[in-house]
Copies of this chain bind each other. A is one copy, B any other.
């Protein structure tokens, strides 16, 4: 598959997904709230690819709740469509994990939606972690996104 649109950054991940019947609303388009799930699905797939999935983070003694999410809808997806979720890791110095997202329609490569998310680290007492955890600094070094 060749989706000409340039990836939005260096550390990126793209994956196709099928629109599910249960995701389509009474306007016959994918319900807007489902895009938040598409973002998360893409983020998890990114995490598996790059060794920073929820389970990887959990096994290091942290959780990574979402503290901000946004989505801008340009076009729509409907029954029978295949979408492409593109996840871009956005480096930041603070103890946060930032992603940007783009969703494309596979058939015509149209940009359907853009979005972003911010996550923070909580430790095992559910306290906010103010400094980047060592394992995360290691991860950034490994992928040259310091």
Please list the residues of chain A having a beta carbon within 8 angstroms of any beta carbon in chain B: 18, 20-22, 24-29, 31-33, 36-37, 40-41, 44, 53-55, 63, 65-73, 76, 79-80
Interface majority SS (helix, strand, loop, mixed), chain A: mixed
Kindly report which residue of chain B lies nearest to residue A32, judged by CB atoms.
Answer: B66
Which residues of chain B are within 8 angstroms of A20 by Cβ–Cβ distance? Answer: 37, 40-41, 44
Which residues of chain B are within 8 angstroms of A63 by Cβ–Cβ distance? Answer: 27
Also in contact, A76 and B65, with CB within 8 A (given A28-B26, A33-B22): yes
Which residues of chain B are within 8 angstroms of A55 by Cβ–Cβ distance? Answer: 79-80
In this complex, the member of A18, A22, A76 whose beta carbon has the largest number of chain B beta carbons within 10 angstroms is A22
A20 vs chain B, min Cβ distance (A): 6
A-B contact pairs, 6 of them (CB 8 A): A21-B54, A22-B25, A24-B25, A27-B65, A65-B73, A68-B73
A76 vs chain B, min Cβ distance (A): 7
A65 to B27, CA, bound (A): 9
